[in-house]
Structure formats: C-alpha cells, structure tokens
Chains A and B, each alone.
Chain A
C-alpha cells in the first residue's frame, strides 16, 4: 500500500472496494442487455421471413436469457444508483446538478426497455408473430440510448465540462447539455458500444461452440454459432481502429492515465512499449517486463520522435494509485483484443471457403474460449478507465477522498462484506438458472412442442401427454 492511500480517510478503501465489486459485477450483464436483443431480433426476423422454426426457437430462448440477465442487471444497477449517494455523497452533493441529467435520461430509457422486454418475453405465445417482432424492434435502440447516457456520465468524470467554479469554490454556469456532450464521450462511447456487442456475441457463440464440440452438430447449434460469430467478426477489426483512436485521445486528454497505462516513467521521445513488468512507486521505475524500443511513441503520435510525458511530470500525490494494475489491465485488454482479431480473421476465411462453421478443432477450442476472453478484456478495460483516473473522481477537480461518505469505516466494511457475500450467491444463482435453462432446452429438443413457437398455448392435455 502506498503512502497517499494510508493518509486517506479510513472509509475510502472499503468504499472503493465496494464500488469496484458492484461495478465489475454489473458490467457482466450490461453487454447482454445491449446486444442480446439485437441477436434475438435477427433470429426472430430470419425465422419469420423464411418460416424457420429453428431460428424462432433460438430467438425465443435468447429472449428468456435476455430477460434473466436484464433482471439481474436491473437489480445490480439499482445498487449502483444507491451507492452514488451511499458511498460518494461528496460527488452527487456537489456535482449532481451538472452530470445528473444523463442518469435521469438513462432511468427513463431503462424504464422503457423494461416495459418492452416484458412485452416481448411474455408475448411469444399469444401476440401475432409480426406484431410481436415489431414490438421488440425498439429494444436495441433504447438499450443503446441507455448505454450512451451512462457512458456520457462516466466520460464526464474523465473530461469534466459544462460548469465553472467561481472564486469561492462554488459551481456556477451549469450547462447539463455541455456536460453530456463532453470531450471524452465520442471515443468512450464508441469503444464501449463495440466492446459490449463483441462481448455478448463471443459469449453467446462460445456456448453453442461448446455444444458443437460435444457433437451436437445440428441446425440449431449452427445458427447459434453463425449469427453471433458473424456480428463479432465484423466488429472486432472495427474495435481495433476505435481502440487505437481512444488510446490516442487519452494520450492527449489524460496524460497521467496514459503514462500509467503504458507505464511511462520518464518523459521524452523514443518511448519504448513495455509489456507487463512491475512499477515501483517509491522510485518511479519499472522492473522486469518486455520492452519494444520506440513503439510507444510511434503508437501515440505516429512517429518515434513523439514526446510522451511520463509519470515524473505528475506530482507523486496525483499519480494513479495503482499504476501496475492499470498497466497490466491495459496490456491484457490489448492482448486479448489481438487474439480475438486472429479468431475473427480465421472465421472469416474459413466461412468464405466452406459456408459453414469451421471444422478445425483448434478453431473450435479457440472459439469456445472466446466468450471468457472477451469478458476479461471488458473488465480490464473498465479497470483502465476507473483505476487509471485515480486519485481523481472528477478529473483534476475533485479527489476521490473528498467525495467519500463520512460514514464509519467499520460500517462500510460490514456492508462491503454483506454485498460481497450476496453477490457471490447472486452469481451462483444466475449461473445455476442459466444452466438449468439450457438443460431443459436440450431435453425439450426431442419434443415437437418447443418448435411450435407461435400460436395458441397447448392445452393441459397436450402438455401433460
């Protein structure tokens, strides 16, 4: 533990730990909330257009998974909105009027999404097929709008805008629209949206690839792989471009975060790209790691002569508190992204040639692990953004310890332990339910009932026979 963390109030650590835990949990469900509706509607459309019951079955099952992840996401999202006040009253009390509007927008869009998802999930049996499809159609757009709002609020914390601070330290000239469209919004939103689609698509595909590997090579599994994997294949190269733009923007906007991401200690040109290694905050040096000369400067500015400011330019008390974590998270994110790009390319070439799921076992194992890999990248990316911003909760304006609650540290540790326990059981519960769902689906694959997606409900006699 370094010096400035020890000087901070005792409740800061449990507050940060609790926030980190709840955010990292919530973010698992976010990609599904954003991207699963798109996939289910694609399957739904395919099914209706070609009278394809397999595609319709997929769509209906995905809608149930979406409903479950949506419910858990709603609960963990509620936790976050409580925590904004429970843990960080200094932030919401002072800046709520500046960056609160996107949360209000998100609240309403989330509301709309909850309503539409409920109609879609519970409407399969009795609504007319095309009516049902069109009622589901707005869901992906509403979800994207919600993501836009939340990312806008987060981007504001990185690039605060839309207010001025007068001589007395009071907030004046509040402009909520200026706060929403802050400088970091375009790249943060672009980067996250593509990441969310990739994460959900790779995760869904990998589930069906596992079934494929176990020999379930039917049309159901083929579609279950091809729809999401096509989405992922299109988006992965896009993410490389967007990710690079994001890194360059962070280099310009938040030099201290960039220095931590790339673990640049001394400012200068011809900066090497250091892979992994360990940062020593006492001496401001890096131990170990693999160094590629000049690459960092070249990536940041297109030439080895690019000057990259290092951590030496930041006063020690303002340096990110966990440089090693930020740096490793960044390297992991980029590393995983590169691996996934290879996978996407492989799938593209193989599909081009055979018009089917590739038969190569190495490919299949690779694709089966892509779901977990992409989630590792999402979590790592979130760590880069959030931990990399420290010690600022509002970049260069408010320190995290100024925002934390004055509630007793002991109380916070108790609530953190409770939340941790509870989330563990929630995670186990969710996984159990999803597994039970898939087992039941597999059982019912042998019956015809499941394939009658639309139409009146079967009567009691039919179901029980």
Chain B
C-alpha cells in the first residue's frame, strides 16, 4: 500500500512538472522576451496561454506537499527542515509570482506593469531552480532523517544539486516553449512560430547538456545513485530522450495536441527515471518507502480519497482544458491587456481580437 501511495506521489509530481513547472518556463520566456516593444507579441501570447490555467496547475504542488506530510510525515519533516533555505526561496518565488500576477492584472501604469513583469519573471526562475536543487539534495542522499539533521548549506549548494536545479529550469523552459508553439499555431500567429521554435531548440539543447552534466556530477558525487540511474533508469531515460526529440520534430507540424502530449510524456519519463532509480528509498540510502510510510489506516484513506479526487477533478480539468482550447474562455476586453496583433490575426482567434484594444490604448 505504501508503494501505491508513493506512486501517486510520483504521478502528482509528474503532473506538476508537466503543467506547473511549464508555467514557470513561460514566465522565464516572459522575463527574457526583451524590451517593451519587442516583447509585446510573445508576452501577450504567454499571458493569454497561462492566465486561465496557472492556478489549477499550481495546485498540484499543494497536493504533493499534503500527500507527503500525510503519507510520509517523517520524510517530509526531514526534507523541509534540512532544506529550509532553498525551499523558503522557492516559496519566495511563488509569492513574487503571485504578486506580479495580482499587480499586472489591472495595473494601469506602464511602470507598475513593468515591475510586475519583473516579479513574475524572477519568481519564475527562482521557484523551479530551488525545487530542483531540493530534488538534487534528496537524490544525492544528503537528507538524513531528523529535524534539520542535514547540513543547511551544503545539502543543496553542491554541483549535483545546482545542476539539478538548472535542469529543472531548462525542462520547464523547453516544455513551455513547445506548448507556446502550439498556442501560436492555434492562434495563427505565424510570427511567433519561428520565435518559439528557436527557443524550444535552445532550451532543448541546454537541457540535454545539463542532463549529461548532472549524470557526470552524480558519477563523482554519489556513485551508488549514478549506478542505479544508469542500470535501472536507462529505458526511461532513453524513452524520455526519444519523446522529447519527437515532440520537437512534431513541433514543425500541425498536430498541436499530439505534440504537447509527447512533450509531456518525455517529462513524465524523466521523472519516472528518477523514481525508479531511487526506489525503494524515500531518503537514499537511509529510509525506505515502507519504513517511512504512515500507518495502514491513513494510507488506505489516502487511496480512497485519491479515487474520489479522480472522480471530482478529472472531469472538471478536462472541461477546463477543453473549453480553453475551444476558445470559450477568455479575458474580458475591459480587463485584458493583450496588445494588438497587427494584421496577422486569423479567423477563430477572437479571444485575442476582442481584447486587443485596452492594452494598446494603455501602452
């Protein structure tokens, strides 16, 4: 039973990586989109793509946290107390991002909006990076069981953890570039097609190099974990590579949904490789899933509630994404700040059309 709950935890983490981390990637592209004029078009697409869904995507993280402290309380306590600094910084990023979001929604003045954009962007880098270093710290066996029993600094400030953090940022950036490519396609903004294809390529190559770097660092740092990753995780690593490469090839085509699903599959395989390498340990190499799990009654109820959650959330989530992709959801013209598309707006992209005016009037 404890293994099933751990599997659910991995599933929730995967979904967070495919959605929430990708939203941070979008924030990263927002941050690097350039000056006010140059960045207007990509920013409007990012804003339009992320706004209706980011909150739902973000909740996976909360679910991971509560699942962790309910199902694996002592692990949660050990990780949170030893990794206080990076996790508090990740939290800082989450709040900064929310502040940026709250401010940008109706910020009337350009300077305010500029600041909001910065908060949004900085938060978008900080959070995935810090969460990644935390994963790196667990992976390299730097978290002993106990209340702040590990080293507060070196547990996450080491080559392996930092590479894991950067890899998380790169993965988010890659996936979001692929998603945004699909969005650009859906909205018929041809100008952004090449723009995000280039960024997807750049992030993909960077991610690949960082992944190799992480493996190398792991080889030096924690040989036992390296062996596990390579010996047990290789099919998943290869699958991940194949899917991510495939998603990139599909990006040239028109099959928007398939492209996104394949990219998400690549991320899922990557998370899976980590999970498989670490199994049966929760905290390598001192605490196993079985030993660290809550009592049977709690695990049973967590599983029952997981089924309940599926029944409640999945239909709603499908409805949200379906309505979103059908173009049924969109900003009010009165509250939106999406600027004009020039002449490139096609039939069916009225979500943007209707909201064009306000933004350009204020800019």
Interface residues in chain A, defined as those with a beta carbon under 8 Å from any beta carbon in chain B:
60, 64, 68, 70-72, 74-79, 81-82, 84-86, 89-90, 92-98, 100-101, 103-112, 114-119, 122-127, 135, 171-172, 174-177, 405-408, 411, 415, 418-419, 422-423, 425-426, 429-430, 432-433, 436-437, 440, 444, 449-450, 456-460, 463-464
Chain A binder among B28-36, B75-83, B188-196, B224-232? B75-83
Is B88 a contact of A86 with CB atoms below 8 Å?
yes
Is A114 a contact of B56 with CB atoms below 8 Å?
yes
**Can you add 9 more A-B contacts, CB < 8 Å, to A109-B312, A174-B298, A459-B354?**
A72-B102, A85-B79, A105-B305, A117-B55, A122-B331, A418-B92, A432-B103, A457-B333, A457-B350
Chain B neighbourhood of A464, CB < 8 A: 357, 361
Chain B residue with minimal CB distance to A415? B88
Chain B neighbourhood of A112, CB < 8 A: 312-313, 316
Chain A neighbourhood of B298, CB < 8 A: 97-98, 100-101, 174, 176
Chain A residue with minimal CB distance to B64? A107
Is A433 a contact of B147 with CB atoms below 8 Å?
no
Cα distance A458–B332 when bound, in Å? 10
Cα distance A15–B153 when bound, in Å? 20
Cα distance A43–B86 when bound, in Å? 45
Is A90 a contact of B294 with CB atoms below 8 Å?
no
Chain B residue with minimal CB distance to A153? B66
Taking the complex as formed, is B215 at the interface, i.e. its CB lies under 8 A from any CB of chain A? no
Is B329 a contact of A119 with CB atoms below 8 Å?
yes
Chain A residue with minimal CB distance to B80? A85
Is B59 a contact of A93 with CB atoms below 8 Å?
no
Is B98 a contact of A71 with CB atoms below 8 Å?
yes
Given A78-B61, A112-B313, A460-B357: A411 and B329 interface contact (C-beta under 8 Å): no
Q: 4 smallest A-B Cβ distances: which pairs?
A: A100-B70, A93-B77, A85-B80, A96-B73
Number of A-B contacts (CB under 8 A): 275
Chain A residue with minimal CB distance to B310? A108
Taking the complex as formed, is B253 at the interface, i.e. its CB lies under 8 A from any CB of chain A? no
Chain B neighbourhood of A60, CB < 8 A: 332
Chain A neighbourhood of B201, CB < 8 A: none
A-side interface mostly: helix
Taking the complex as formed, is B291 at the interface, i.e. its CB lies under 8 A from any CB of chain A? no
Cα distance A114–B71 when bound, in Å? 24
Chain A residue with minimal CB distance to B94? A78
**Contact sample, A vs B, 22 pairs, CB 8 Å cutoff:** A64-B335, A68-B105, A75-B99, A78-B62, A86-B84, A93-B147, A100-B70, A104-B302, A108-B312, A111-B59, A114-B59, A118-B53, A119-B323, A405-B147, A405-B148, A419-B92, A429-B103, A433-B102, A433-B105, A440-B335, A460-B353, A463-B354
How far apart are A331's CB and chain B's nearest CB, in angstroms? 34
Is B55 a contact of A74 with CB atoms below 8 Å?
yes
Is B76 a contact of A93 with CB atoms below 8 Å?
yes
Chain B neighbourhood of A109, CB < 8 A: 312
Contact partner, A122, options B63, B91, B112, B330, Cβ 8 Å: B330
Chain A neighbourhood of B95, CB < 8 A: 75-76, 79, 419, 422-423, 426
Chain B neighbourhood of A117, CB < 8 A: 55
Chain B neighbourhood of A405, CB < 8 A: 80-81, 84, 147-148
B313-347: CB near A (< 8 Å → 1, else 0) gives 10011011001100111111111000000000000
Is B88 a contact of A92 with CB atoms below 8 Å?
no
Chain B neighbourhood of A97, CB < 8 A: 70-71, 73, 294-295, 298
Cα distance A107–B63 when bound, in Å? 5
Is B73 a contact of A440 with CB atoms below 8 Å?
no
Chain A neighbourhood of B331, CB < 8 A: 122
Chain B neighbourhood of A105, CB < 8 A: 305
Cα distance A34–B358 when bound, in Å? 31
Chain A neighbourhood of B79, CB < 8 A: 85
Within 8 A of A (CB), among B267-326: 294-295, 297-298, 301-302, 305, 308-309, 312-313, 316-317, 319-320, 323-324
Taking the complex as formed, is B126 at the interface, i.e. its CB lies under 8 A from any CB of chain A? no
Is A115 a contact of B317 with CB atoms below 8 Å?
yes
How far apart are A99's CB and chain B's nearest CB, in angstroms? 8
Cα distance A430–B96 when bound, in Å? 13
Cα distance A316–B295 when bound, in Å? 36
Contact partner, A123, options B78, B90, B317, B329, Cβ 8 Å: B329
Chain B residue with minimal CB distance to A178? B297
Taking the complex as formed, is B234 at the interface, i.e. its CB lies under 8 A from any CB of chain A? no
Chain B neighbourhood of A84, CB < 8 A: 65, 69
Is A126 a contact of B91 with CB atoms below 8 Å?
no
Chain B neighbourhood of A70, CB < 8 A: 55
Cα distance A225–B355 when bound, in Å? 31
Cα distance A266–B105 when bound, in Å? 56
Cα distance A78–B98 when bound, in Å? 11
Is A124 a contact of B92 with CB atoms below 8 Å?
no
Chain B neighbourhood of A135, CB < 8 A: 319
Which of A90, A100, A437 has the largest number of chain B CB atoms within 10 A? A100
Chain B neighbourhood of A94, CB < 8 A: 73-74, 77
Given A118-B56, A406-B147: A108 and B98 interface contact (C-beta under 8 Å): no
Is B62 a contact of A119 with CB atoms below 8 Å?
no
Chain B neighbourhood of A172, CB < 8 A: 295
Is B99 a contact of A85 with CB atoms below 8 Å?
no
Taking the complex as formed, is B22 at the interface, i.e. its CB lies under 8 A from any CB of chain A? no
Chain A neighbourhood of B221, CB < 8 A: none
Is B328 a contact of A127 with CB atoms below 8 Å?
yes
Is A436 a contact of B66 with CB atoms below 8 Å?
no
Is B107 a contact of A108 with CB atoms below 8 Å?
no
Contact partner, A429, options B81, B99, B149, Cβ 8 Å: B99
Given A93-B77, A176-B297: A411 and B85 interface contact (C-beta under 8 Å): yes
How far apart are A196's CB and chain B's nearest CB, in angstroms? 20
Cα distance A119–B354 when bound, in Å? 18
Cα distance A172–B295 when bound, in Å? 8
Chain B residue with minimal CB distance to A69? B102
Is B73 a contact of A101 with CB atoms below 8 Å?
no
Contact partner, B301, options A92, A101, A430, A432, Cβ 8 Å: A101
Chain A neighbourhood of B147, CB < 8 A: 89-90, 93, 405-406
Taking the complex as formed, is B118 at the interface, i.e. its CB lies under 8 A from any CB of chain A? no
Which of A76, A406, A430, A440 has the largest number of chain B CB atoms within 10 A? A406
Cα distance A78–B116 when bound, in Å? 20
Is A115 a contact of B320 with CB atoms below 8 Å?
yes
Chain B neighbourhood of A116, CB < 8 A: 316
Chain A neighbourhood of B71, CB < 8 A: 97, 100
